Structure 1
Amino acid sequence: MSNEYRHVLVAVDLTKDSHKVLERAIPIARRNNAKLSIIHTLEPLGFAYGGDIPMDLTSIQDQLDEHAKERLAEIADPHDIAREDQHVVVGMPDTEIHRFSKEHNVDLIVVGSHGRHGFALLLGSTSTGVLHGAQCDVLAVRVGNDDEAAE
């Protein structure tokens, strides 16, 4: 199994579950002596509000971007992930994760999954979108409230 993976990408949403996802990826990267990168995707404010707001949202988007970088560093720094391997990108999460993976030769993507069932699964989530469009292996780490898993 040695060197099966050369570049592991951890996609996080900056919630408390992000630590669990990262902690699952770290031993895999270490066992394979693989590069470890972490990514968070921000949806552009224009996607959320369309053309309905007649104002420039650039400064607000920049503030959100800066806050996300600080939050990502809080998650990644304790695990000695270099700042150049911490990425905040703007766009649709599954699309940007796929783009980053192709551009950086990622061969394993690790994402959190709430283990949805039924319609929620059919309608999709970020982890489902990542899984279905990935050109490499994807590890979905079960996250969320343990009480939800028991139901």
Structure 2
Amino acid sequence: MYKHILIGFDDSKDSMKALERAAQIYSMDSDCKITVAHVIQEYTNELSFDHYHLNYPIGPRPDGGVYPARIMFREDELSQNTEEIIYDSTEEIMNHARSFLNHQGVPAEFKTLDGKPSTDICDFALEQHVDLIIVGNSGKGLLKKLLVGSVSETIMKNAEMDVLVVK
């Protein structure tokens, strides 16, 4: 059977199904190692608030609308707050996975990755000698799936090990 299983987890309904499947596999072979990975998407590292620095005039716009109010802030504070929000959100996501697996009696390791989910999960799986990746089916709509593809689809194409997509 499998020796090391990696679950790509984003706290969606389908990623919870991936956890359930991993727990089922573990119940058949408790010698396998389980790792849960959550990827903080790369765009969170590139948040830019430069648009708040624009010098909008005060008063109505020529088209009848109004200019947005100026927002005064210190960028270092905003950046720190953004990082705290992301960290807290990630902890909450991982705690859901941890709680579920603990309730099932499944020991697991938890890893937070930073970047692009489809790439980072495949890279991490290779580095850690994972032999099965379990992911939930994408929650993207049809149009977005056609334009950019789904994370699960990209993982299936790029992974060098078995991939199980759970619906």
Give TM class, smaller chain: 0.7 to 0.9
1:5 aligned onto 2:10:
no
Counterpart CA distance in 1 for 2:133 and 2:100 is 20
Give the number of the structure whose alpha-carbon radius of gyration is greater.
Answer: 2
CA contact (8 A) 1:5 1:29 kept: no
Letter matched to residue 25 of structure 1 = A
Corresponding residue of 1:102: 126
Q: Which moved more, 1:25-34 or 1:104-113?
A: 25-34
CA contact (8 A) 1:43 1:92 kept: yes
Counterpart CA distance in 2 for 1:113 and 1:20 is 9
Q: Which moved more, 1:10-19 or 1:33-42?
A: 10-19
After TM superposition, the structure 1 = structure 2 runs for residues 46-57 of structure 1, keeping only pairs within 5 Å, are 46-47=45-46, 49=47, 52=50, 55-56=75-76, 57=79
1:65 aligned onto 2:87:
yes
Letter matched to residue 98 of structure 2 = A
Letter matched to residue 31 of structure 1 = M
Which secondary structure does the structure 2 equivalent of 1:68 belong to? Answer: helix
Counterpart CA distance in 1 for 2:147 and 2:40 is 23
* Higher relative contact order (Cα pairs below 8 Å, separated by 6+ residues): 2
* Runs of 4+ with >6 A deviation: 115-119
1:24 aligned onto 2:34:
no
Identity among equivalent pairs (%): 30
Q: Measured at CA, do residues 126 and 50 of structure 1 come closer, stay the same or move farther in structure 2, by a change above 3 Å? A: farther
- Normalized against structure 1, the TM-score is what? 0.75
How many matched pairs?
137
Structure 1 alignment gaps of length 5 or more: 143-151
2:162 to 106, 124, 137: 137
Structure 2 alignment gaps of length 5 or more: 54-74
